[in-house]
Amino acid sequence: MKKINVAVIFGGTNTEHEVSLVSARAIIQNLNPEKYQILPVMITKANQWLTPKSFLADPTHLRSLPETTRSGITVKPQEITAAHQIDVFFPVLHGPYGEDGTIQGLLEMMPVAYVGCGVLASAICMDKDIQKRLCLQAGLPVVPYQVVTSAVVPDPVSFPCFVKPANQGSSVGVTKVHRSKDLKPALIAAFKLDTKVLIETAVPMAREIECAILGTTEHPEASVLGEVIPSNEFYDYNAKYIDGQSQAIIPARLPTKLAHAIQSAAQKAFIVCGGYGLARVDFLVPKEGRGEPYYLSELNTLPGFTTISMYPKLWQASGLKYAKLLDRLIDLALNRHQQKSKLKLSYQPKSAWFD
């Protein structure tokens, strides 16, 4: 059987570059070599596209990026498909320029099959403000928040609160603020990463619950739920990727009725935002009797794929192993591309424009 040629794109020019490298390494190691011919494609922080075939062989390379890039072959994005007969691209680019619709737009114009959400859903879900507006409109419970577009301290603000750049992932730039005097420094820090910032009310004693979604916009499947118990005050970048002390409880210990409601909410949010392929939907469950039974926190259209990441672990607990999960994602990408290839791309009017 002819192998499927898969180009795994990773790296990128944003703050989640290093996370992308670890995710890509895990994906490449779990793609079935009997089924796929794999081409690693790395985007450096200087926006140079390389094909470093030996880059992921040694995990220490993740800490010596400049050394490994020197042996890569420079490529142009538009030439990769023809030169390597690529059947499908697998973007593993977290954050801005990766899961915000930017790379998806490039792949649409090439045009090629690619894993994950399309341009619109990626852009919507990258912007925490826009995704929350859509989810609110659909009747989903969302944590109260306000949008700030300058570093001027708004009024009033309830404490404690979270200050978040609207278009960052992996909790980059997020600060939990307990006192009014600490709000402006948190805003200044967030505005170094984005031009739009959210101030979100902290849910007291909240449990962090996550649900993995897989499938089409019309028929998304929900995984079992997982709970994250962070090692720090909240599940920040260090707790996710550095200290290794956070715990994951899978499946989450929740009443059956509440668990089903959260799974349904995750599917609904995915549909509302036009998701396709995959997403991880995060929720906050407050202490019983405080506010809503749960709040939707955010959707991540390209969640982490490291060996400790919740998305693959949730599907593993649902009976879908990592390698089979990758098969499903690639099949979804190829099916969408096949459907779109049947669409007409030109229009012939009944009469000439200048008759």
Q: For residue 241, what pLDDT is reported?
A: 45
Q: How many CA atoms lie within 13 A of 244 on its CB side?
A: 2
Residues 84 and 66 reside in one and the same domain: yes
Residue 327's pLDDT is what? 99
Taking each continuous run of H as one helix and of E as one strand, the counts in the chain are 11, 15
- Does the CA dihedral 11-338-76-6 come out positive or negative? positive
Q: What percent of the chain has pLDDT over 70?
A: 87
Reported as a single tens digit per residue, the pLDDT across 30-73 is 999 999 999 999 999 888 899 886 655 444 444 444 434 445 67
* pLDDT tens by residue, 266-309: 999 999 999 999 999 999 999 775 667 999 999 999 999 988 89
Question: Are 217 and 150 part of one and the same domain?
Answer: no
Indicate whether 166 belongs to any domain: yes
3-state DSSP assignment of residue 105: helix
Q: What's the pLDDT tens digit per position in 236-261?
A: 444 444 445 678 999 999 999 999 99
Environment class of 216 (CB within 10 Å of its CB; exposed 0-12, middle 13-18, buried 19+): middle
Q: Average model confidence (pLDDT) for the chain?
A: 88
Return the pLDDT at 114: 98
**Angstrom distance (rounded) from CA 186 to CA 179:** 11
In this prediction, residue 72 carries a pLDDT of: 65
| DSSP three-state, residue 259 | helix
Q: What is the pLDDT of residue 231?
A: 63
CATH code of 331's domain: 3.30.470.20
Q: Are residues 176 and 262 in the same domain?
A: no
Digit-coded pLDDT (tens) for 130-166: 999 999 999 999 999 999 998 777 878 889 999 999 9
Residue 352 lies in a domain: no
Is pLDDT above 50 for 99?
Answer: yes
Question: Pseudo-torsion of CA 319, 322, 328, 330, nearest 10°?
Answer: 180
Same domain as 236, residue 184: no
pLDDT at 56: 52
User: If DSSP codes are grouped into helix, strand and coil, which group holds residue 121?
Assistant: helix
Reported pTM: 0.89
* pLDDT above 60: residue 11: yes
Are residues 275 and 232 in contact, defined by beta-carbon separation less than 8 angstroms?
no
Answer yes or no: do 25 and 42 share one domain. yes
Residues 14 and 95 placed together within one structural domain of the fold: yes
Q: Which of 201, 216, 242 is the last residue of a domain?
A: 201
Q: Which helix (H) or strand (E) holds 69?
A: helix 65-69
Q: Is residue 94 part of a domain?
A: yes
**CATH number of the domain encompassing residue 21:** 3.40.50.20
Same domain? For 44 and 60 the reply is yes
How many domains in the chain? 3
Give pLDDT, residue 233.
60
Would 135 be classed as within a structural domain? no
Please tell me the distance from the alpha carbon of residue 263 to that of residue 350, in angstroms, as a whole number: 49
Same-domain status, 44 and 157:
no
What pLDDT was estimated at residue 63? Answer: 45
CA distances from 336 to 82, 98, 127 (A): 20, 20, 24
3-state secondary structure of 337: helix
Q: What is the pLDDT of residue 61?
A: 43
Residues 180-197: tens digit of each pLDDT:
999 999 999 999 999 999
Residue 92 lies in domain: 4-114
| 100 and 214 both lie in a single domain | no
Compute the distance between CA of residue 12 and CA of residue 18 in angstroms, rounded to an integer. 9
Same domain, 219 and 308: yes
- Given 170, 201, 232, the domain boundary residue is 201
**Given this model, what pLDDT does residue 301 score?**
96
Per mean pLDDT, which of 161-175, 176-190, 319-333 is the most reliable? 319-333
Instruction: Report the pLDDT value the prediction gives residue 347, as an integer from 0 to 100.
Output: 77
The answer to whether residues 291 and 195 belong to one domain is no
**96 & 185 share domain:** no
- Outline where DSSP puts E strands in 216-338: 220-229, 247-249, 277-285, 295-300
Cα atoms found within 13 Å of the Cα of residue 306, Cβ hemisphere only? 17
Residues carrying an active site annotation: 16, 170, 241, 280, 282, 298, 300, 304
What sign does the CA torsion over 284, 266, 8, 121 have?
negative
Residue 280 belongs to some domain of the structure:
yes
Q: Up-side HSE of residue 23: CA atoms within 13 Å toward CB?
A: 29
Gyration radius of the chain's alpha carbons: 21
Task: Give the residue-averaged pLDDT of 67-81.
Answer: 68
Residue 191 lies in a domain: yes
Q: Is 354 contained in some domain?
A: no
Residue 185 lies in a domain: yes
